[in-house]
Chains A and B, each alone.
Chain A
């Protein structure tokens, strides 16, 4: 079963790689954007789907990664490797500090604390004007020369998303990942079996933050512009929606969800100014009609 899914995933990656030159410019940037955002959604699913921790502040780590790149690349001329390294490390460090506070709480409290911690990062991005340029954001983030045009960047994003998918796939299938699922199902049972529940949750939190930071690094290069909108609450919730829409507890789900939301946002906003109204309706519709997500529903049907 897992092997078949892995083959299917690799097939999709190969197909996307072959299709690259066939896309016209606009769809190409959309698929690139979906791939970048999919990294954020997959990282969140490690917490939400596999560990059962609904983080409502995941844009914070994504934003830390993005801001690290934006500031280092524009003001200090740091290259891709340096930016990516610092971005991911800073995101992981932020998650390591926030995790100390958040992991103590469970359920709704976890949700609200991650929300408030996410707001800390947003507040700094918004108000610490001398560092972050505040509401104006940091613009003109230069891409490395090799990745300057859209097609090479598309392949770069595809490779990164595939790498994250494989790494997280191995992680969730490992004994560590199985322990996380055990914690999701019954924390007290895992504790009485002798597992260090706190440590597993904490590590999942930090790993998830680091991968979200990697997504943010890519986002800064993709968008060329980083602003407080990238770290705001709505961005965190959108990531949750992608996971919920696609199917929590699967890695394909968040990717599908990211694709659907990115395309929907861009297409709907082409035709109407009222796209927030439609996006809001999508949120409500997903909860009412597809509570297990698209991929979850498909797998459920396949099993029957």
Chain B
């Protein structure tokens, strides 16, 4: 492969991986923005989404149903966690960390119990398994689908947050939860909704990723650090931050793995540390 081709292909691969990361991390960022919860079970939503999607895909033979089923099931799980457990721990960072880790361990073990330890791949429609050639370079259509899906979700989120009444409530809760409550916004209900949405987005990423990376035990803690790096780099609670962070992390990870395989995690986390040294709240974070 000639040099320019290498850069084009790797950039494309990095962008498509960034698209997957956006699905995963935008939910984490949203949840943090509204509730200041550090949710270490967020990777579990990704994994559970993948597993539920797998079961739905095998039963219904429909990839669209798998995406929808995975997202809905995990949204319910997220709502249960928020309503019954996390709501009591407002402002207790350590408590939230330990509790969400507890849930992550339980989900991990339950997934092992239900789906076993073998890796699976979610069957995708034939249209998405093809690849096409542009001026001698081969591109996979599934990666194009990932980028498209993330773009649709990004636009949808922007519309929801920026253009609707519900979005205005959520933004008010992000800015100042107490004040929002004071002017009559139902902040607990907004929190519940955002939590469900965030969990559903991660699960959507899990199903979409399952058709591409596979579904296997351990994905939960494998993707979690990526989600954290995206929101740290982009800034917590910021949608533009999540977009820029995902693309940046996707590219860094991909080029790191291709150019310096032994240092690939280092090439991902070290630039993050540099960005933080200059901007402690991330690129788009507010102080």
Contact = CB atoms under 8 A, between A and B. Distances in A.
A128 B262 contact: yes
Interface of B: 32, 36, 38, 40, 85, 88-89, 92-95, 97-99, 101-106, 108-110, 112-113, 221, 224-225, 228-229, 231-232, 236, 261-266, 268-270, 272-273, 276-277, 280-281
12 contacts: A100-B277, A108-B236, A111-B93, A116-B228, A119-B269, A120-B270, A233-B224, A284-B85, A284-B98, A287-B89, A287-B95, A288-B85
Given A112-B228, A241-B98, A283-B101, A101 B262 contact: no
A280 B106 CA distance: 5
A280 B98 contact: no
Contact of A244 (B98, B266, B272): B98
Contact of A122 (B92, B95, B263, B265): B265
A240 B97 contact: yes
Contacts of A113: 232, 273, 276
Interface in A257-304: 274, 276-277, 279-284, 286-288, 291
Contacts of A119: 225, 229, 265, 269
A127 B104 contact: no
A240 B94 contact: yes
A175 interface: no
A212 B221 CA distance: 23
Contacts of A123: 264-266, 268-269
Q: Which of A48, A111, A240, A244 has the most CB of B within 10 A?
A: A111
Contacts of A124: 263, 265-266
B89 A127 contact: no
Contact of A101 (B92, B94, B263, B276): B276
A107 B98 contact: no
A237 B102 CA distance: 10
A109 interface: yes
Q: Binding site of B, secondary structure by majority: helix, strand, loop or mixed?
A: helix
Contacts of A104: 276-277, 280
Contact of A120 (B231, B265, B280): B265
Interface of A: 48, 54, 56, 100-101, 104-105, 107-109, 111-113, 115-117, 119-120, 122-124, 126-130, 232-234, 237, 240-241, 244, 248, 274, 276-277, 279-284, 286-288, 291
Contacts of B270: 120
A127 B109 contact: no
A172 B168 CA distance: 48
State the 5 A-B residue pairs at the shortest beta-carbon distance, nearest first: A123-B265, A283-B102, A280-B105, A280-B106, A276-B109
Contacts of A284: 85, 98-99, 102-103
A19 B277 CA distance: 51
A287 B263 contact: no
Contact of B93 (A107, A126, A237, A282): A107
A108 B280 contact: no
Contacts of B232: 109, 112-113, 116
Contacts, number: 137
A244 B94 contact: yes
Nearest to B85: A284
A105 B232 CA distance: 11
Given A130-B262, A280-B103, A287-B89, A117 B98 contact: no
A278 to B, nearest CB: 9
Nearest to B40: A237
Contacts of B236: 108-109
A56 B36 CA distance: 16
Contacts of B113: 274
A287 B262 contact: no
A100 B274 CA distance: 11
Contacts of B88: 288
A287 B281 contact: no
B235 to A, nearest CB: 10
Contacts of A283: 98-99, 101-102, 105
A54 B99 contact: no
Given A119-B225, A128-B262, A279 B105 contact: yes
A76 B273 CA distance: 33
Contacts of B103: 280, 284
Contacts of B231: 112
Nearest to A277: B109
B281 A109 contact: yes
Contacts of B32: 108
A254 to B, nearest CB: 14
A116 B85 CA distance: 26
B273 to A, nearest CB: 5
Contacts of A56: 97
